[in-house]
C-alpha cells in the first residue's frame, strides 16, 4: 500500500522522483479517509509552490482537505485526468491518480520526507 | 406491450417531459386597455420554454411528489438541533388573512398599523423570553441572525474606538454557520475546546480570551444538548477582557420560561422562529432569525425596528444601525405565525413546552443508554446526543442506523454533528410527541441494535421501503446534472 | 423563584399527561423537572416573565382578525400603485392548493434524500425553471430574497475575479447596494457607482451590478454593459424582474455571468415584505463559487433516478469559515410556490402575463402624461419601460399621496430623494382599467387644485 520507491509527508502526500521532476499525489491512507473523491482543485502550470505550502484542494462528498506540496519548485504539469475523473485518485492513487509535477528547486528537501518504513507506523 | 399492475409505481417524469404543445393550466384575462405599442423587437425574446400541462396535471404531479416526503404532519422527525415540533395549522391560516398577506412592504405606516403593532408585540415577547429587550425581526434565518449579531458586536467595539478586536472565539462543537458568519463579519475564528464532559473548557477559554476578543459565540444549550454548568464564569471571562457574548439560540426550545439568556451574561442572541416558535420549516425555509440585544446595544440593531410613538406604530431605523441586511422588514408571515404560537400557549404553555421537551429527551436517553453510548453521561436538556461508536465496532455505522430508521417511518436523527462526537446521532423528540411515539422509537432503536448482529445486511442496505434506495452522491458531485435538458 | 417546578398545563400542542410525565420522570430517576436542571444557576431558574396567558383557537382568530382589519389592502377596498421590489400579481388556485400539502410544508431541509424526494425533485424543477427563464446554464435552489441574492452574487464575482472593487449601476434600487454594503462591510470590499451611460470603468472592478428593468422600470442595455465589463476583466451581474422575462430578452443571451432576481412576483404574496425567495443563476464555469443549496440528479442502488443535495463542500456545514456563504435554511417552500406558479402559467401564460402588465402600465403612463402638471420621465437608460415608470408631479408626492389615500388609493412610491416631486408608479395585471382611470382622475383633480 505504501511503495518503497516513494517518499511521504506527514500530510499524506507522496513524491516520486524522475530526474529533477517530482511527481506528487496523495497516499492510500489519504484517499481512504476522504472516501469517494469528487473534485480536485489544482494550480496553473507555471506557478511556483513552496515546500509544505498549500497547492490545491481535494474534496469528497462531505469533506474538503487542503493539498500540501511535499517539495518546492515550479509546477510543470497538472493531471487533467484527475480533474476530469476524480475517481482515479481513489482507484490508482500512485498511478493515474497523481496530481502535479514539480521541477524540484532544492534536492535536499527530499531529506525532510519519510520513506515507506517510517511513514507507515505514523498511520496507526 | 403489457402494462404491469403496480398501484404503488410512481411516475417521476419531469414537467418538461410531460409537456404537450397547446396544453394549458391557466388563462389570463384579455387586456381591457387600448392597445399600446410594443418596444422595438430587438428588446423582445422568443418563447420561454416552460412546460405546457393541464391544471389537473399540475395538481397531481405536485401532490404525488409531496407523498415522497417525510414530514412532521406524517412522521416522527427527531432531527436534533432542528426542533421539528408540531406546526399549528391555525398559524398558517392567520398568516394568510386578507389584510396580512396582501399588504405591500412600502405602504405608509398609517395604513399598516395592525401589522406594525403585531411586530412590536412579538419583539416585546421575544425580548421578555430572552431577557434581551432590544429586538429586530429583520434577519431571514438563524445564520442571518448570527451575522446581524456579529455586525452589532463589531459596530459596538468600533464605536468605542476599539477596532483591534478581530477575533471570534467559537467552541469546537459549534454549528457551521457560526464560523461562516464570523468570517463574513471579517473576524478570525479561534476555536475553544470542549472538555471531556462536553462543556467549554474553561481553562482553554481563559487562555484564548484577550484584548483582541470581539465576541464569544456560544450555543445555549450547547449542540450536545447540555447546559453549560460554568455559564456565569464563561460570560465573566469574556466580559473581563472587554468582549461580548453571543448566544446562538437555535436551542431555545429548552429554555422557555426556565432561564433568560440575558440573566446569564449574554449580550446578543438570535432565535430561530422556525424551530422554537413552531413556524414550518418548509423543506428548507423560509425561516426567521430575530436578533435580541441588551438595551445598550439596541442602537446598533439592523433596520427596521417596530416602535410605538405618540402618533402610532412606526418602522424605525435605530440611531447607529448596522443597516439593511435584506430587502424589506424580514419574514413577516413567519413573524405572524410565531406571534400566534406565543399567544396560543401563553406563559404557562411556553414553560410547559420546555419542560416536556426536556423530559422527553431524558426519557429516551434513559431508555437507550444501555445500548448506545452517550456523548456525555449526564442529564441532557431538550436533545440527547447518542453515539453509534459501539455499533461501529460491530460493523454498522451511525449512517446505517439512521437509514434503517427510515424503514420504520421515523426520520433519522441529525448525523455526524456535532463534529466532536464520534458517530453522533442527535435525537430531539420535542414536546409535541406522545409517550407512545417515544416508546415506539425506543423499541425501534433497540431492535436496530439487535439487527447489527442478527441481520447486518438489513441495516447496511437500508432503506428498503422508500421511493428510492441509497443514492449515488459521489457521481452526483463528480458529474453534476442540475437541471432538465432536452434529449 | 416565581413559579413552581411542575407548571405543566395540558395544551392541544402538548400531548403528555400528568401521569405520563410522572412515569417518564420515574424512569429517568428524578422527582421533578428541577432534578434535570441542575446545571442552570439556581438564582436564575424560573424567572418572572411578563407574557399574557394563552388563548383558545377561537380567541386567536378574533384577535388576528382585528389586527388584519387595521391594515389597508385590496381586501379592504384600496387600490395600490406600489411596486419597487414587491409586486401585486394574481396567485392561481393551484399554488394555494399545493401549499396546503403538509408533506412539503412541514419537512426539514432534505438531508436524508431517500425520505425527501418530493422536496428534492421540486427543487430540481425550480432550478430548471430559473434556467429556462434567465437563459443561464445553472441555478441554485434559492436564496433569502432578491437583494441578498444580488449581494452574494457581487461577492461571488469578487471571489471569481480575485478583485475587491464592486461597481453598481446608478439606476439600481438602493436596496441592492445597501444590502451589499451590509454583507461586505468587513470583507475589504469597495462599492463604486457606475453611471448607466459609462463607456469606461475602472480596470480593477470585480463586476458591474446591473438592475434591469432598473429601479425606474426601464430596460438597461445589458449587452453593452456586459461587454464593457468583460473588456475589463470584470463579470456582469444582472438583477432582473422575472415577470419581465416573459417578454424581454433573457440575460443569458448577452453572455451575462450571474443573474439574480426577487422571486416574489412569481406567485408569492406581498405579505409586508416576506418571506420571498432570491433567484440565483450563473455560468456553469463558476458553479463552485456559487452560494446556497444545489440539487442534482443521480441514481439509486437499483439504477432508478433520484435527487440529492450536491456540491455541498461549498457550504458552511463542511467548509465552515471558508464557505462560500453562511446561508443554511433558505427558502425552499417559496421555491415550491414559484415552481407551481410557473408550471401553472406555462409557456403561454408567462408571455400573456408580461404583455398584460406592459399594456396596462403603458396605458396608465400615457394617460398620466396627458395630465396638466404631470409628466412621465425617462431616467437613466432611456430605453423602454416594463410595468413601472416615473412621474414628476406638480407638488410634493407626500401631499399627493395623502390626498389619494382619502380616496382609498395608495399612490406610487415617493422617490423625491432621487428626483424632485418624483413618483414611481407600478401597474400590473391586478389593476383593472377602471382602477387606472380612477387613479388618473384623482391625480388630475389633485393636480388641478395644486
Ligand atoms: C445550532 C444551530 N445554529 C445555527 C443554525 C442556523 O440556522 P438557520 O438554518 O436558520 O440559518 C442551526 C440550524 O440549522 C443550528 O442548529
pLDDT in tens, A55-109: 999 999 989 999 999 999 999 999 999 999 999 999 999 999 999 999 998 999 9
C230 and C83, same domain (yes or no): no
Radius of gyration of chain C (CA): 26
C381 — pLDDT class (breaks 50, 70, 90) = low
* Residue B221 vs residues B47, B114, B132, B287, B368: alpha-carbon distances, Å: 54, 35, 17, 20, 21
Element (H, E) at B12: none
Identify any residues that bridge with C169 across adjacent strands, giving them in sequence order: C194
**Structural domain includes residue C267:** yes
**CATH class as words, domain B89-345:** alpha beta
Last residue of a domain, one of C297, C321, C339: C339
Helix (H) or strand (E) holding C387, with range, is: none
Nearest to C393 by CA among C443, C440, C442, C436: C443
Q: How far is CA C257 from CA B289, C135, C212, C233, in A?
A: 31, 11, 15, 12
C316 in contact with A, Cβ within 8 Å: no
Measured distance CA(B173)–CA(B149) in Å, rounded? 20
**CB–CB contact A61 C288 (8 Å):** no
pLDDT of amino acid C382: 62
pLDDT at C3 over 60: no
How much distance in Å is there from the Cα of B29 to the middle of ligand 1?
44
pLDDT greater than 70 at residue C370? yes
B103 in helix, strand or coil? coil
Whether B329 contacts C274, CB under 8 Å: yes
- Interchain pair B258, C323: CB under 8 A: no
Cα B419 to middle of ligand 1, angstroms: 15
Compute the mean pLDDT over every residue in chain B, rounded to the nearest whole number.
97
The pLDDT, as a whole number, for residue C4 is 42
CB within 8 Å: A64 and C288? no
Helix H segments across C79-190? Answer: 93-98, 102-105, 117-134, 146-161, 175-184
For residue B323, the chain C residues in CB contact (below 8 A) are 178, 181-182, 185
Please, which pLDDT band fits residue C448 given cuts at 50, 70 and 90?
confident
Q: Mutation target for B interface from A34, A37, A38: give the one with most B CBs within 10 A.
A: A38
Instruction: For residue B84, list chain C residues with Cβ-Cβ distance below 8 A.
Output: 106, 108
- Does C58 reside within a domain? no
The answer to whether the B89-345 and B356-475 domains have the same CATH topology is no
pLDDT of res. B448 = 98
Is residue C126 domain-resident? yes
Structural domain including C120 reads 95-339
pLDDT at residue B1, rounded to an integer = 63
Which residue does chain C place closest to B382, by CA atoms?
C36
Q: What are phi and psi of C10, to 5 degrees?
A: -85, 125
Beta bridge partners of B245: B216
% of chain C exceeding 90 in pLDDT = 95
Using CA atoms, how far apart are residues B256 and B430, in angstroms rounded to an integer? Answer: 13
C199 and C182 fall within a common domain: yes
- The complex scores an ipTM of 0.97
The CATH number linked to C81 is 3.90.1150.10
Distance C328 CA to ligand 1 centre (A): 7
Which candidate in C309, C317, C318, C323 is best for mutational testing of the A interface (most A CBs within 10 A)? C318
Q: List chain A residues with CB under 8 Å of B416.
A: 62
Residue B88: how many CB atoms within 10 A of its CB? 22
The reply to whether C358 and C225 lie within a common domain is no
Q: Is residue C251, in this structure, part of any structural domain at all?
A: yes
Residue entry with cell 419583539 = B123
- C-alpha distance from A94 to closest chain C C-alpha (Å): 25
C163 and C256 housed in the same domain:
yes
Instruction: Say yes or no: A36 contacts chain C, CB-CB below 8 A.
Output: no
Contact B327, C147 (CB under 8 A): yes
CA-nearest of C335, C269, C307 to C74 is C269
Residues C333, C352: one domain? no
Which of B12, B45, B49 is the closest to C121 by Cβ? B12
Could you tell me which CATH class the domain B356-475 is placed in?
alpha beta
- The crossing angle, in degrees rounded to 10, of helices C18-28 and B435-454 is 40
Given an 8 Å threshold on Cβ–Cβ distance, is B474 in contact with A38? yes
Task: List all residues whose CB is within 6 A of at least one atom of ligand 1.
Answer: B 81, 141-143, 175, 177, 219, 223, 248, 250, 272, 287, 289; C 328-329
Answer yes or no: is C47 within a domain: no
What is the model's pLDDT at position C2? 37
Domain boundary among the residues C339, C373, C396 is at C339
Residues C82, C404: contact at Cβ < 8 Å? no
C84 and C99 share one domain? no
Dump pLDDT digits (tens) for B412-441. Answer: 999 988 989 999 999 999 999 999 999 999
Q: What is the pLDDT of residue B472?
A: 97
Question: Residues B289-318: what's their mean pLDDT?
Answer: 98
Confidence of residue B3 (pLDDT cuts 50, 70, 90): confident
Q: What's the domain count of chain C? A: 2
Q: What percent of chain A has pLDDT over 90?
A: 94
**pLDDT > 60? residue B462:** yes
Sign of CA dihedral B438, B74, C60, B122: positive
Asked if residue C272 and residue C128 are part of one domain, the reply reads: yes
- Return the CATH number at C119: 3.40.640.10
Instruction: Choose one of C283, C307, C339: the last residue of a domain.
Output: C339
User: How high is the pLDDT of residue B213?
Assistant: 98
C245: left (phi over 0), alpha (psi -120 to 50) or beta: alpha
- Probe target for ligand 1 pocket from B83, B143, B178, B268, with the most ligand atoms within 8 Å of CB: B143
Q: How many CB atoms lie within 10 A of CB B447?
A: 12
Domain ranges (residues) in chain B: 12-28+49-68, 89-345, 356-475
- For B137-184, the pLDDT digits (tens) are 999 999 999 999 999 999 999 999 998 999 999 999 999 999 999 999
Q: How far, in Å, are A34, A39, B284, C317, C405 from residue B176 at the CA level?
A: 19, 21, 16, 4, 48
CA distances for B92 relative to B271, B333, C52, C243, C363, angstroms: 20, 9, 22, 27, 38
pLDDT at position A124 is 79
Write the pLDDT tens digit of every residue in C229-248.
999 999 999 999 999 999 99
Res C447 pLDDT > 70: yes
C142: left (phi > 0), else alpha (psi -120 to 50), else beta? left
Any domain includes C41: no
> What are the beta bridge partners of residue C307?
C297
Summarised one tens digit per residue, pLDDT across range B58-81 is: 999 999 999 999 999 999 999 999
A-facing residues of C in 295-314 (CB < 8 A) are: 312-313
Check whether residue C86 and residue C200 sit in a common domain.
no
CA dihedral in degrees (B412, B414, B420, B424; nearest 10)? -20
B70:C112 CB<8 A: yes
Which single residue is written with the C-alpha cell 388618473? C440
Judged by a CB distance cut-off of 8 A, whether residue B232 touches chain C is yes
C316 with C367, same domain: the answer is: no
Cβ atoms of B99 and B113 within 8 Å: the answer is: no
Which ligand 1 atom is the nearest neighbour of the CA of B143? 11
Distance from CA of C199 to the nearest CA of B (A): 21
Q: In this model, does residue C1 exceed pLDDT 50?
A: no
- Strand A48-49 versus strand A73-78 pairing type: antiparallel
- A-chain residues within 8 Å CB-CB of C308? none
Pair C228, C360 in one domain: no
Q: Is C120 helix (H, G, I), strand (E, B) or coil?
A: helix
**C326 C-alpha to center of ligand 1: Å?**
10
| Residue B56 exposed, middle or buried by CB count within 10 Å (0-12, 13-18, 19+) | exposed
In sequence order, the β-bridge partners of residue A103 are A21, A74
Same domain flag for C230 and C251: yes
Domain A7-106 fold is: OB fold (Dihydrolipoamide Acetyltransferase, E2P) (2.40.50)
User: What region, left, alpha or beta, does residue C380 occupy, with left being phi > 0 and alpha being psi -120 to 50 degrees?
Assistant: left
The reply to whether C2 falls in a domain is no
Q: Among all chains, which residue has been given the C-alpha cell 446561508?
A: C327
Ligand 1 centre distance from Cα of residue B284 (Å): 11
The per-residue pLDDT for range C146-165, each reduced to its tens digit, is: 999 999 999 999 999 999 99
Q: How far apart are CA B353 and CA B429, in angstroms?
A: 12
Nearest residue CA, atom 8 of ligand 1?
A: B142
Q: Which residue of B has its CA nearest to C262?
A: B327
Contacts of C288 in chain A (CB under 8 A): 39, 41
Q: Report the sign of the C-alpha dihedral through residues C390, C396, C398, C399, in that order.
A: negative
Amino acid at each position: 500500500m505504501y511503495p518503497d520507491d516513494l517518499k511521504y509527508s506527514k500530510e499524506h502526500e507522496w513524491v516520486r522522483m524522475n530526474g529533477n521532476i517530482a511527481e506528487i499525489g496523495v497516499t492510500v491512507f489519504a484517499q481512504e479517509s476522504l472516501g469517494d473523491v469528487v473534485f480536485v482543485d489544482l494550480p496553473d502550470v507555471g506557478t511556483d509552490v513552496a515546500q509544505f505550502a498549500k497547492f490545491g484542494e481535494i474534496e469528497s462528498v462531505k469533506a474538503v482537505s487542503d493539498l500540501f506540496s511535499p517539495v518546492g519548485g515550479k509546477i510543470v504539469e497538472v493531471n487533467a485526468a484527475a480533474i476530469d475523473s476524480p475517481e482515479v485518485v481513489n482507484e490508482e492513487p500512485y498511478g493515474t491518480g497523481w496530481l502535479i509535477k514539480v521541477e524540484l528547486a532544492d534536492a535536499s528537501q527530499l531529506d525532510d520526507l519519510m520513506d515507506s518504513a517510517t511513514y507507515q507506523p505514523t498511520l496507526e | 406491450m403489457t402494462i404491469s399492475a403496480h398501484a404503488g409505481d410512481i411516475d417521476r417524469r419531469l414537467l418538461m417531459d410531460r409537456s404537450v404543445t397547446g396544453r394549458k393550466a391557466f388563462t389570463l384575462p384579455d387586456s381591457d386597455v387600448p392597445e399600446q405599442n410594443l418596444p422595438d423587437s430587438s428588446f423582445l425574446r422568443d418563447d420561454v420554454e416552460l412546460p405546457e400541462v393541464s391544471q389537473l396535471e399540475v395538481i397531481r404531479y405536485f401532490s404525488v411528489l409531496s407523498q415522497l416526503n417525510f414530514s412532521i404532519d406524517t412522521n416522527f422527525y427527531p432531527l436534533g438541533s432542528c426542533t421539528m415540533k408540531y406546526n399549528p395549522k391555525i398559524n398558517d391560516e392567520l398568516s394568510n388573512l386578507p389584510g396580512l398577506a396582501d399588504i405591500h412592504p412600502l405602504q405608509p405606516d398609517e395604513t399598516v398599523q395592525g401589522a406594525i403593532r403585531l411586530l412590536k408585540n412579538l419583539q416585546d415577547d421575544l425580548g421578555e423570553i430572552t431577557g434581551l429587550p432590544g429586538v429586530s425581526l429583520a434577519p431571514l434565518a438563524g445564520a442571518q441572525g448570527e451575522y446581524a449579531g456579529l455586525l452589532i458586536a463589531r459596530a459596538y467595539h468600533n464605536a468605542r474606538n476599539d477596532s483591534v478586536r478581530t477575533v471570534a472565539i467559537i467552541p469546537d462543537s459549534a454549528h457551521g454557520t457560526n464560523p461562516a458568519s464570523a468570517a463574513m463579519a471579517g473576524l478570525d475564528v479561534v476555536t475553544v475546546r470542549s472538555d471531556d464532559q462536553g462543556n467549554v473548557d474553561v481553562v482553554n477559554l481563559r487562555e484564548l480570551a484577550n484584548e483582541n476578543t470581539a465576541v464569544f459565540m456560544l450555543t445555549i444549550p450547547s449542540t450536545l444538548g447540555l447546559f453549560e454548568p460554568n455559564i456565569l464564569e464563561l460570560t465573566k471571562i469574556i466580559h473581563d477582557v472587554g468582549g461580548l457574548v453571543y448566544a446562538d439560540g437555535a436551542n431555545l426550545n429548552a429554555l422557555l420560561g426556565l432561564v433568560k439568556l440575558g440573566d446569564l451574561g449574554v449580550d446578543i442572541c438570535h432565535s430561530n422562529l422556525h424551530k422554537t416558535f413552531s413556524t414550518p420549516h418548509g423543506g428548507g425555509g423560509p425561516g426567521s432569525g430575530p436578533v435580541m440585544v441588551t438595551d445598550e446595544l439596541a442602537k446598533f440593531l439592523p433596520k427596521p425596528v417596530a416602535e410605538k410613538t405618540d402618533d402610532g406604530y412606526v418602522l424605525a431605523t435605530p440611531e447607529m444601525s448596522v443597516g439593511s441586511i435584506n430587502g424589506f422588514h424580514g419574514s413577516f408571515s413567519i413573524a405572524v405565525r410565531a406571534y400566534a404560537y406565543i399567544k396560543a400557549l401563553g406563559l404557562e404553555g411556553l414553560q410547559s413546552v420546555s419542560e416536556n421537551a426536556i423530559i422527553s429527551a431524558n426519557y429516551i436517553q434513559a431508555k437507550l443508554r444501555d445500548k448506545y453510548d452517550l456523548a456525555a453521561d449526564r442529564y441532557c436538556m431538550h436533545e440527547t446526543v447518542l453515539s453509534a461508536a459501539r455499533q461501529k465496532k460491530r460493523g454498522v455505522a451511525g449512517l446505517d442506523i439512521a437509514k434503517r430508521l427510515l424503514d420504520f417511518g421515523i426520520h433519522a436523527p441529525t448525523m455526524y454533528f456535532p463534529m466532536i462526537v464520534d458517530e453522533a446521532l442527535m435525537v430531539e423528540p420535542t414536546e409535541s410527541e406522545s409517550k407512545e411515539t417515544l416508546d415506539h422509537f425506543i423499541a425501534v432503536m433497540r431492535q436496530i441494535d439487535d439487527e447489527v448482529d442478527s441481520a447486518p445486511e438489513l441495516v447496511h442496505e437500508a432503506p428498503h421501503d422508500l421511493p428510492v434506495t441509497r443514492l449515488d452522491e459521489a457521481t452526483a458531485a463528480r458529474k453534476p446534472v442540475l437541471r432538465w435538458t432536452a434529449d | 423563584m416565581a413559579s413552581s417546578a411542575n407548571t405543566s398545563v395540558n395544551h392541544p400542542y402538548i400531548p403528555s399527561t400528568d401521569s405520563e410525565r410522572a412515569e417518564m420522570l420515574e424512569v429517568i430517576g428524578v422527582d421533578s423537572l428541577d432534578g434535570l436542571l441542575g446545571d442552570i444557576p439556581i438564582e436564575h431558574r424560573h424567572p418572572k416573565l411578563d407574557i399574557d396567558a394563552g388563548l383558545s383557537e377561537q380567541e386567536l382568530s378574533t384577535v388576528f382578525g382585528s389586527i388584519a382589519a387595521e391594515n389597508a389592502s385590496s381586501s379592504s377596498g384600496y387600490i395600490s400603485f406600489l411596486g419597487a421590489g414587491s409586486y401585486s400579481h394574481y396567485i392561481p388556485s393551484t399554488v394555494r392548493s399545493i401549499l396546503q400539502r403538509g408533506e412539503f410544508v412541514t419537512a426539514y431541509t432534505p438531508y436524508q434524500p431517500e425520505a425527501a424526494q418530493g422536496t428534492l425533485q421540486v427543487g430540481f424543477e425550480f432550478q430548471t425553471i430559473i434556467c429556462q427563464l434567465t437563459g443561464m446554464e445553472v441555478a441554485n435552489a434559492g436564496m433569502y430574497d432578491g437583494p441578498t441574492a444580488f449581494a452574494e452574487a457581487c461577492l461571488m464575482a469578487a471571489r471569481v475575479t480575485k478583485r475587491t472593487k464592486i461597481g453598481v449601476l446608478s439606476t439600481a434600487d438602493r436596496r441592492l447596494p445597501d444590502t451589499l454594503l451590509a454583507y461586505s462591510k468587513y470583507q475589504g470590499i469597495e462599492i463604486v457607482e457606475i453611471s448607466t451611460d459609462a463607456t469606461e470603468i475602472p480596470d480593477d472592478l470585480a463586476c458591474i451590478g446591473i438592475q434591469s428593468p432598473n429601479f425606474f422600470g426601464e430596460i438597461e442595455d445589458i449587452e453593452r454593459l456586459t461587454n464593457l465589463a468583460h473588456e475589463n476583466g470584470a463579470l456582469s451581474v444582472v438583477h432582473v424582474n422575472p415577470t419581465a422575462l416573459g417578454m424581454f430578452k433573457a440575460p443569458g443571451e448577452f453572455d451575462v455571468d450571474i443573474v439574480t432576481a426577487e422571486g416574489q412576483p412569481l406567485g408569492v404574496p406581498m405579505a409586508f415584505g416576506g418571506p420571498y425567495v432570491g433567484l440565483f443563476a450563473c455560468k456553469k464555469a463558476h458553479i463552485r463559487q456559487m452560494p446556497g443549496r444545489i440539487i442534482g440528479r443521480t441514481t439509486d442502488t437499483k439504477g432508478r433516478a433520484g435527487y440529492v443535495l450536491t456540491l455541498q463542500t461549498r457550504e458552511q456545514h463542511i467548509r465552515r469559515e471558508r464557505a462560500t456563504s453562511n446561508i443554511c435554511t433558505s427558502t425552499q417552500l417559496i421555491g415550491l410556490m414559484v415552481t407551481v406558479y410557473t408550471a401553472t402559467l406555462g409557456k403561454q401564460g408567462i408571455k400573456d402575463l408580461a404583455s398584460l402588465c406592459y399594456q396596462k402600465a403603458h396605458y396608465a403612463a400615457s394617460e398620466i402624461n396627458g395630465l396638466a402638471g404631470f409628466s412621465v420621465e425617462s431616467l437613466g437608460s432611456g430605453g423602454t419601460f416594463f410595468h413601472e415608470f416615473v412621474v414628476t408631479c406638480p407638488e410634493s408626492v407626500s401631499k399627493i399621496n395623502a390626498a389619494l389615500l382619502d380616496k382609498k388609493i395608495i399612490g406610487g412610491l415617493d422617490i423625491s430623494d432621487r428626483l424632485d416631486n418624483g413618483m414611481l408608479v407600478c401597474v400590473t395585471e391586478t389593476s383593472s382599467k377602471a382602477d387606472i382611470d380612477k387613479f388618473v382622475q384623482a391625480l388630475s383633480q389633485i393636480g388641478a387644485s395644486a
